[in-house]
């Protein structure tokens, strides 16, 4: 009986152990299942959090882009300066200005109006306007023109551009007076008044002469600049100043050999695509690579006379090169003069909101080019 009882007890004990093991195994399996479930839940939560972050970033990027599109050029970039040979904005980012130059405002004053500038900004996708005021030609500032009227046109143009958040270039447009020193005293008085008038306008750039020519040397040009620049600096210590170069603003190499001490100047190069090809393009590229601050304040698609056939293939090569080095450029000219370089047909009388019928061959091409640029 004792043996039977002991055997039964042993069986009972083993059975109990087996049941306990089964319970333990079941609990372990449950625990593992719970851990797996918890892990999956954590992973799901992580994925959801990642998706939330990504969606938030997408929304923020979209809002940023929408806000950027709503901002005017000046609101995006603010006051400009020259840094490492590049035109640079208040955020330290390189910026390109691009747009139209007026023809002589003494002869085509009708295009200096707020609706014209708004059309250029909103329809043509440009961010800058150049106000070209001739000095020596008939009706020019220094040759019988109405000085007060011309100055008022410049002031009005700057006001319209400022209201639209565009940049604007005040251009002392010498041509037949090939040496800028010829009318230096007039230039000093003019830029003194302009700098005082625009003391609070950080969207204004000053082009102190257009195209020195007739054999005028860089030494003569530089001496003129060294007298004009301090006049502007009295009121505008940080404004960007554009300085022309010899031979119709083509010999930037001369400026590179003996640059001005002012660090906030850029040297102008002008080209007309029908005339100026690889030789001048190579010169620009060479000096751009070496860090010379260059600004193309005037170019045309025809030949250097402002007339003749347009060469759009050469123009495209030029603009590709300028974009490569982030160089700003202004197209000549905003007028209905009967010549190839004018962007309006001679019979067009509209002064804003132009249609294709108003545009010349050059006008249609450059408008399409501006419109297809990514806005900066």
The mean-pLDDT minimum among 111-115, 361-365, 370-374 falls in: 370-374
Q: Which residues 6+ apart lie within 8 Å of 67 measured at CB?
A: none
The yes/no answer on whether domain 78-372 falls in CATH 3.40.50.720 is: no
Query: In this predicted model, what pLDDT tens digit does every residue of 121-153 receive, in sequence order?
Result: 999 999 999 999 999 999 999 999 999 999 999
Of the residues 211, 261, 313, 356, which is catalytic?
211
What does the domain layout of the chain look like in residue ranges?
1-70, 78-372
Q: Please tell me which residue in 137, 207, 251, 298 is annotated as part of the active site.
A: 298
**Mean pLDDT, residues 369-375:** 80
**The pLDDT of residue 1:** 38
Which spans in the chain are helix H?
2-70, 73-77, 114-122, 147-163, 184-197, 218-233, 246-249, 252-257, 278-289, 312-324, 361-372
3-state secondary structure of 154: helix
Q: How confident is the model at residue 373 (pLDDT cuts 50, 70, 90)?
A: confident
Residue whose C-alpha is closest to residue 211's, from 260, 245, 171, 256: 245
pLDDT band at 49 (very low <50, low <70, confident <90, very high): low
Question: pTM for the whole thing?
Answer: 0.83
Q: Is 37 a catalytic residue?
A: no
- Look up tokens 């990027």; give the residue: 61
pLDDT digits (tens, 9 = 90+) for 162-180: 999 999 999 999 999 999 9
Q: If you average pLDDT over residues 183-207, what whole number do you get?
A: 98
Is the confidence at residue 3, as pLDDT, over 70? no
Q: Are 120 and 126 in contact (CB under 8 A)?
A: yes
pLDDT above 90: percentage of residues in the chain: 80
Assigned token pair, 139: 């009706």
Would you state the structure tokens that stand for residue 199, as one six-digit string? Answer: 């003391």
More confident call, 288 vs 70: 288
Q: What is the mean pLDDT of the chain?
A: 89
pLDDT digits (tens, 9 = 90+) for 339-369: 999 999 999 999 999 999 999 999 999 999 9
**pLDDT of 317 strictly over 70:** yes
Catalytic residue check, 261: no
88 contacts: CB under 8 Å, gap ≥ 6: 80, 81, 82, 94, 95
Q: What tokens appear for 61 in the block?
A: 């990027």
């Amino acid at each position: 009986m004792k043996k039977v009882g002991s055997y039964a007890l042993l069986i009972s004990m083993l059975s109990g152990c087996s049941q306990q093991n089964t319970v333990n195994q079941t609990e372990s399996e449950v625990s593992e299942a719970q851990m797996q479930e918890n892990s999956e839940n954590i992973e799901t939560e992580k994925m959801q959090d990642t998706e939330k972050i990504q969606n938030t970033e997408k929304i923020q990027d979209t809002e940023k882009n929408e806000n950027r599109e709503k901002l005017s050029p000046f609101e995006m970039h603010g006051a400009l300066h020259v840094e490492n040979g590049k035109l640079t904005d208040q955020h330290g980012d390189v910026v390109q200005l691009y747009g139209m130059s007026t023809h002589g405002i003494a002869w085509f004053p009708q295009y200096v109006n707020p609706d014209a500038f708004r059309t250029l900004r909103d329809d043509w996708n440009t961010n800058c306007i150049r106000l070209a005021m001739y000095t020596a030609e008939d009706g020019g500032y220094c040759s019988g023109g109405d000085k007060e009227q011309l100055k008022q046109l410049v002031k009005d143009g700057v006001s319209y551009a400022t209201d639209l958040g565009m940049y604007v270039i005040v251009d002392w447009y010498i041509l037949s007076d090939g040496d800028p020193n010829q009318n230096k005293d007039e230039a000093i008085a003019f830029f003194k008044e302009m700098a005082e008038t625009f003391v609070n306008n950080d969207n204004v750039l000053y082009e102190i002469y257009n195209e020195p020519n007739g054999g005028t040397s860089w030494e003569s040009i530089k001496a003129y600049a060294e007298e004009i620049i301090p006049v502007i600096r009295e009121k505008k210590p940080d404004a960007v100043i554009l300085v022309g170069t010899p031979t119709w603003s083509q010999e930037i190499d001369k400026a590179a050999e003996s640059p001005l001490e002012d660090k906030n100047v850029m040297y102008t190069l002008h080209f007309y695509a029908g005339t100026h090809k690889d030789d001048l393009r190579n010169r620009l590229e060479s000096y751009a690579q070496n860090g010379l601050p260059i600004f193309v304040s005037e170019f045309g698609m025809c030949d250097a006379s402002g007339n003749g056939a347009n060469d759009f293939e050469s123009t495209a090569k030029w603009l590709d090169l300028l974009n490569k080095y982030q160089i700003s450029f202004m197209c000549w000219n905003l007028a209905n003069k009967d010549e190839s370089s004018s962007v309006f047909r001679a019979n067009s009388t509209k002064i804003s909101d132009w249609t294709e019928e108003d545009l010349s061959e050059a006008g249609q091409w450059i408008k399409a080019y501006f419109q297809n640029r990514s806005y900066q």
